[in-house]
Amino acid sequence: MSDEVKGKVFDHLFTTKGVGKGTGLGLAIARQIIVEKHHGSIDINSTEKEGTEFVITIPVRNRVFFDIL
Ligand SMILES: Nc1ncnc2c1ncn2[C@@H]1O[C@H](COP(=O)(O)OP(=O)(O)OP(=O)(O)O)[C@@H](O)[C@H]1O
Ligand SMILES: [Mg+2]
């Protein structure tokens, strides 16, 4: 991915697929579930025209548990 694309992949409706092909919702929804619901993180390792790796980190216990401590 180019740096420009990398900066937008989690935006709602952002897609580089053709008209009628992609909704641009896949990664926005994935980010919502991982970051907002599970308080985790999603990171991108990407080399343009070679490949992309998404690294997902999700805490074992809910953050609310730690807030109480
Ligand atoms: N594995 C990947 N490698 C390179 N670029 C990716 C990858 N996954 C997503 N992208 C880039 O991020 C954009 C947004 O991805 P997202 O999953 O949100 O929507 P989409 O794949 O375009 O559409 P949909 O998920 O609805 O089919 C893609 O259009 C593409 O440019
Ligand atoms: Mg997708």
- The whole-angstrom separation of Cα 63 and Cα 65 is 5
Give all strands (DSSP E) within the chain, no chain letters: 41-47, 51-57
- The whole-angstrom separation of Cα 29 and Cα 40 is 14
Question: What mean pLDDT, rounded, does the chain reach?
Answer: 92
Range of the domain at 29: 3-68
CA angle 8, 25, 50 (to 5 degrees): 55
Q: Model-level pTM?
A: 0.87
Give the number of other CB atoms < 10 A from CB of residue 9. 21
Tens digits of residue pLDDT in 18-45: 999 999 999 999 999 999 999 999 999 9
Nearest residue by C-alpha to atom 28 in ligand 1: 15
CATH number (domain holding residue 28): 3.30.565.10
Our measurement of the distance from residue 31's CA atom to the centroid of its chain's CA atoms, rounded to an integer in Å, reads 4
How many domains is the chain built from? 1
| Atom number of ligand 1 nearest to Cα 21 | 27
7 pocket-lining for ligand 1 (C-beta < 6 Å) = no
